[in-house]
Every structure is written in C-alpha cells, then in structure tokens.
C-alpha cells in the first residue's frame, strides 16, 4: 500500500506542474501578443500581468506544500 501512496503523491505533483505551466504559458503568450501589437503599452501590460501571475504561482506552491505534507505525515514503512 505504501507504494500506491507514493505514486499518488508523485501524480499529484505532476498535475500541479501541468496546471501551473499551462497557466503561466497562457499569461506569457497573451502578454507577448499584447506587447507585439502595442509596444508602447509594454509597461502597463507587464504590470497588469504581474499580480495574477504571482497569485497563480501562490496557488501552485500551496498545492505543492500540501502534497509534501501528505508525503511527510503519511504512513511510514
């Protein structure tokens, strides 16, 4: 059973990375697109993208912390 439990932690970590990567990829693509259309607005676009990017990163980090907690507090053996 311990093996299954480790696999669940590994799958969880992988899914977190997939989600965070999709999110950050969309942000970066949209920001690059916007800056390419309107180079003058680059500062404003960067400022607008920053905050949601960090919120997204925070959610991913939270999920990773909880996965690691499952790993550390789970059954030993």
Partner 1 sequence: MLAQEQAQAVAAEAHKGFDAGETIIEHVSNSGLDHPLFHLPRVLGIDFSVTKHVLMLWLVAAFVFVVVTWTVRRYLGQDRRIPSGFMNALESVVEFVRDSIVLPNVGKKWVNTWTPLLLTFFIFILCANAIGLIPVFDTLAVLDHFVFRTGENSFVKQLLHGGTTATANFNVTAALAMITFGAIIVAGSKAHGFIKHWKNLVPHGLAWPIYILLIPIEIMGMFVRPFALTMRLAANMTGGHIAILSILSFVFLFTELFGRAAAGVGVGLAVSVPLSVGISFLEIIVVLVQAYVFTLLTAVFIGMAIHVHH
Of the pair 15, 33, the CB lying nearest partner 1 is at 15
DSSP string computed for the chain:
-HHHHHHHHHHHHHHHHHHHHHHHHHHHHHHHHHHHH-GGGHHHHHHHHHHHHHHHHHHHHHHHHHHHHHHHHS---
Of the pair 38, 50, the CB lying nearest partner 1 is at 50
Residues that bind partner 1 (CB under 8 A): 47, 50-51, 54-55, 57-59, 61-62, 64-65
At closest approach, how far in Å is the CB of 56 from partner 1? 11
Of the pair 33, 62, the CB lying nearest partner 1 is at 62
């Amino acid at each position: 059973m311990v093996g299954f439990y480790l696999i669940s932690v590994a799958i969880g970590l992988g899914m977190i990375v997939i989600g965070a990567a999709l999110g950050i990829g969309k942000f970066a693509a949209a920001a690059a697109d916007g800056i390419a259309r309107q180079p003058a607005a680059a500062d404003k676009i960067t400022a607008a993208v920053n905050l949601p990017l960090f919120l997204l990163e925070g959610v991913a980090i939270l999920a990773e912390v909880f996965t690691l907690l499952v790993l550390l507090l789970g059954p030993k053996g």
